[in-house]
């Protein structure tokens, strides 16, 4: 994905994003849902069940920055939520919030990996935490079950082979060589996280804005195949699924649909 290469210097040096930056404050927010979609249906990645996380977390970060400024005084900083050239997982790992797993997601012994990562970059010197050790051990569950073999070796993911890329980022037609490999995923993919042993510790979030529209959870394959623009707008009004647009979702459904 070529867009990942843009602004590479800013990804390495936060001082190019915030004048006088001295610290990166990394934060996690759980999104693991209390209820999942029904069985045997087309699947949406859990992170997209509710309101688009960019808006939810950005507001929380702005409140946190205001709190810091109220308590400490003049502090210059910016909030980042997966929307700027910031190495989210690398900074979170460096701060000790978890380690980068073999599926390339950040893993925590206490919480698994179903959470969003965000940052405040500030011009405030702090006492810094340190990284934790890797606890993946000899486990290769995520590598073994990846439907498109996107995890080409431990800790290395070929993004151009990932179902999330095909169903969200790719704007053209999905290549025929991956037909039949999507395991009914039509927006994103959670397979590598679902099989991770550390995610047995995942607990439901407490953020009401992440709660899904019940229609989403109860839709059958037939319901998805018959979805209209009106229904799409109703269910995904404030969802990250809007990134793929109605036409993109219909493309994905058509691609994974088994005929005959």
Active-site amino acid positions: 82
Residue 130 CB contacts under 8 Å (≥ 6 apart), including other chains: 96
Gap between the Cα atoms of 123 and 74, Å rounded = 10
**How many degrees, rounded to 5, is the angle at CA 217 between CA 232 and CA 109?**
120
Using DSSP's 3-state secondary structure scheme, residue 15 falls into helix
Q: Edge-to-edge strands of the sheet including 23-30?
A: 23-30, 115-122, 77-80
Q: Which residue has the tokens 């790719």?
A: 170
* β-pairing verdict for 77-80 and 115-122: antiparallel
37: enclosing H helix or E strand: none
Q: Residue 37, class by beta-carbon neighbours within 10 Å (0-12 exposed, 13-18 middle, 19+ buried)?
A: middle
The tally of CA atoms less than 13 A away on the side-chain side of residue 23 is 17
Q: Which residues, in sequence order, are bridge partners of residue 108?
A: 112
CA dist., res. 192 & res. 146, Å (int): 6
């Amino acid at each position: 994905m070529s867009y990942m290469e843009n602004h590479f210097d800013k990804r390495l040096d936060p001082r190019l994003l915030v004048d006088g930056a001295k610290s990166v404050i990394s934060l996690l927010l759980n999104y693991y849902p209390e209820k999942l979609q029904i069985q045997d249906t087309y699947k949406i990645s859990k992170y997209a069940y509710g309101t688009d996380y960019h808006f939810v977390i950005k507001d929380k970060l702005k409140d946190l920055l205001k709190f810091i400024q109220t308590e400490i005084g003049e502090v210059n900083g910016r909030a980042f939520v997966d929307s700027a050239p910031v190495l989210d997982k690398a900074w979170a790992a460096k701060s000790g919030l978890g380690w980068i797993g073999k599926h390339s997601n950040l893993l925590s012994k206490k919480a698994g990996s179903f959470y969003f990562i965000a940052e405040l970059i500030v011009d405030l010197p702090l006492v810094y935490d340190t990284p934790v050790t890797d606890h993946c051990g000899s486990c290769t569950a995520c590598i073994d079950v990846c439907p498109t073999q996107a995890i080409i070796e431990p800790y290395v993911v070929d993004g151009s082979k990932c179902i999330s890329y095909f169903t969200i980022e790719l704007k053209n037609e999905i290549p025929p060589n991956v037909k039949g490999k999507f395991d009914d995923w039509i927006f994103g993919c959670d397979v590598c996280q679902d099989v991770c042993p550390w995610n047995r510790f995942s607990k439901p979030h407490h953020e009401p804005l992440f709660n899904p529209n019940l229609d989403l959870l109860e839709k059958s394959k037939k319901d998805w195949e018959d979805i209209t623009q009106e229904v799409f707008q109703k269910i995904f009004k404030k969802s990250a699924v809007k990134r793929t647009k109605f036409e993109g979702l219909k493309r994905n459904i058509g691609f994974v649909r088994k005929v005959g």
